[in-house]
Structure 1
Amino acid sequence: MSDFSALIGRIDNLLDKVQAKWLSPPPATDWTALAWRWQASPAGGQLQALQYPHLIALESLQHVDLQKAEIVRNTEQFVHGYPANNVLLTGARGTGKSSLVKALLGRFAPQGLRMVEVDKQDLTDLPAIMECLRGRPERFIVFCDDLSFEADEPGYKALKVVLDGSLASSSDNALVYATSNRRHLMPEYMADNLELQRQSGEIRPGESVEEKIALSDRFGIWLSFYAFDQDAYLAVAAEWLRHYGISEFSDEVRRAALQWALTRGSRSGRSAYQFARDHAGRVGFAASRKSAGSPAA
């Protein structure tokens, strides 16, 4: 009997912990932060302040000058209270889409810009997030990174509604900036080009294609990013090396950078950044061992 009572006690304690974690009202939002991540929960979710947001200098992003100028112009209008558009950044992986959005926070935070990161699986909470932001004096970018959808995913509909598809007016202090490797955010199939989709029996397949295009069409600004050529890749690698205090870009370093890109299968800003970190780390570590009198590894 005592064992049964102990078991009931443990179950009660477990239920209390579950209730405290999932059913209790979320704590008040820390509005002193610069950025938040939306934390979904059965109790309604909350804006979780990021103590150490990733701040990137706009000047560090090379060979995306046209895209940079356009998104900076749009964001500058927004933070000064003028009309601006939601932005969709699409294209090759590792070309600076996400970094460009993150860099906006460092540039415009002194002017009141704040950022809310929302994971793809939590996009169904977008209307609730917008309500949390409505009426605040700050200007918010709701950042959705690396988006892609299947046709039946609920987040697809929620994003459409927030962009401009709801009877309720959108909040004028919040914009959505999203990145994706897909131009239309959804998979496209050869069957979409057929006059009649015999397999599904759909009479007007063109309407399905329009449904897929409708989401990306709701973004007022589209910015496309392309894979770097060799010269651009090397220039970005040299810039990142200068960031880490290495100004010399010798033939040996150049060959190492090209070899790095070859093994990664990509000439991109991301691979250039990763090479620079690796090379700067090697050089710095070797110098420290030499000054300490340790034999080279």
Structure 2
Amino acid sequence: MSATLVEQLLDSLQEAVAGQGKQDQIDWQRVFAARWESSGRAGQLRPLHLRLDTQLQDLVGIDRQKQLLELNTAQFVAGFPANDALLWGARGTGKSSVVRALLAAHATRGLRLIEVDRGELLNLPQLVARIRDLPWRFLLFCDDLAFEADDQTYKSLKTLLDGSVEAGADNLLIYATSNRRHLLPEMRSDNQAASMVDGELHPGEAIEEKISLSDRFGLWVSFYPFAQDHYLQVVRHWLGRIAADAGLCWEWSVELEQQALRWATARGNRNGRCARQFARDWVGRQLLNGAAI
């Protein structure tokens, strides 16, 4: 660890100790989510005004993932033991959406969300000190988390997860999403240091270092690319939801199915985000055409 990083971590810890009695001006009774922001060594929580209109039932075809995360979150909200969770896999498959849906499902039971960008991880001790004694249950949400090979900020996250002699906050759980299973790039050269001893594979130090971060998450939830039938199922769901909200009557057809498939082909992927975007576009065009008549 570089001297600069050590200095930054020490400064952050000093700020945390000095600011333990300081409270952010957030009414958590009314505010369900906030973003942790820092300037230099000072940090603050900025309220976020989220639309909690995505429900768990809107996330079609990922029932196993929803069940795992819903059970873990329910344990946490109830004050029972629960695990930090890493949601990893293909883009647009519902990783971030399921976290927002969990917040919507449990907000009335005291669940709150704090969004933290990768660049703010060095100041996590300040954040923990701010919320440790609050009566709410906080999800610390790191969205689209990934580190470059020479990025040392991930060590702060390792320490918070499971690497400090100081006990963590009982009212804080970390949910992170990533396209990478181990959060760090995996190079072919990393495997060259691996060795076989009595038939057992022993990873090299580089591999051990990269695995050690993701290994600290007690719950791994995998998200996979959508098959065509899954994608069309999600399209139909969002068409029904968005059209109903707009008061539009519609009917599924072969032509509509082909339009949805062409939309996905043009974007090079089939996923939930793509399905919702198509539904919004199609419903919007029908309403515009109707208004123009």
- Interval containing the TM-score (normalised by the shorter chain): 0.7 to 0.9
Give the structure with higher Rg (CA): 1
Deviation above 4 Å: which 4+ runs of structure 1? none
Equivalent residue runs for 1:44-83 within 5 Å: 44-83=42-81
Structure 1: which 5+ runs fail to align? 1-24, 197-203, 291-297
Could you say which residue in structure 2 is the equivalent of 1:165?
163
Residue 144 of structure 1 aligns with an amino acid whose one-letter code is: C
Judge conservation of contact 1:61–1:100 (CA < 8 Å) in 2.
Answer: yes
Could you say which residue in structure 1 is the equivalent of 2:25?
28
Residue 116 of structure 1 aligns with an amino acid whose one-letter code is: I
Residue 277 of structure 1 aligns with an amino acid whose one-letter code is: R
* Structure 2 residue 262 is the aligned partner of structure 1 residue 265: no
Residue 129 of structure 1 aligns with an amino acid whose one-letter code is: L
Relative to structure 1, the CA distance from residue 190 to residue 43 in structure 2 (aligned partners, 3 Å threshold; closer, same or farther) is closer
Relative to structure 1, the CA distance from residue 30 to residue 44 in structure 2 (aligned partners, 3 Å threshold; closer, same or farther) is farther
Deviations 1:56-75 (A, max 9, x none): 21111011100000000000
Residue 156 of structure 2 aligns with an amino acid whose one-letter code is: A
SS of 1:99 mapped into structure 2: helix
Shift of 1:164: 1.0
Deviations 1:78-136 (A, max 9, x none): 00010000000000111000101111110000100000001111111122111111011
Judge conservation of contact 1:26–1:46 (CA < 8 Å) in 2.
Answer: no
- Name the stretch that deviates more: 162-171 or 240-249: 240-249
Relative to structure 1, the CA distance from residue 247 to residue 130 in structure 2 (aligned partners, 3 Å threshold; closer, same or farther) is farther
Judge conservation of contact 2:87–2:223 (CA < 8 Å) in 1.
Answer: yes
Shift of 1:207: 1.3
Could you say which residue in structure 2 is the equivalent of 1:89?
87
Judge conservation of contact 1:26–1:45 (CA < 8 Å) in 2.
Answer: no
Judge conservation of contact 2:117–2:142 (CA < 8 Å) in 1.
Answer: yes
2:211 to 202, 210, 213: 213
Shift of 1:55: 4.1
1:146 to 132, 144, 167: 144
Deviations 1:149-168 (A, max 9, x none): 12332320110011011111
Structure 2: which 5+ runs fail to align? 1-21, 195-201, 244-248
Residue 273 of structure 2 aligns with an amino acid whose one-letter code is: R
Give me the identity figure in percent.
Answer: 51
Relative to structure 1, the CA distance from residue 46 to residue 55 in structure 2 (aligned partners, 3 Å threshold; closer, same or farther) is farther
Judge conservation of contact 2:41–2:123 (CA < 8 Å) in 1.
Answer: no
Shift of 1:148: 0.7
2:189 to 183, 188, 191: 191
SS of 2:108 mapped into structure 1: helix
Which structure has more relative contact order (CA 8 Å, sep 6+)? It is 2
CA distance in 2, matches of 1:247, 1:218: 48
Q: How many residue pairs get matched?
A: 260
Could you say which residue in structure 2 is the equivalent of 1:18?
none
CA distance in 1, matches of 2:77, 2:185: 34
Shift of 1:43: 5.4
- CA RMSD for the aligned pairs? 1.8
Could you say which residue in structure 2 is the equivalent of 1:249?
252
* Structure 2 residue 285 is the aligned partner of structure 1 residue 282: yes
Relative to structure 1, the CA distance from residue 184 to residue 268 in structure 2 (aligned partners, 3 Å threshold; closer, same or farther) is same
SS of 1:244 mapped into structure 2: helix
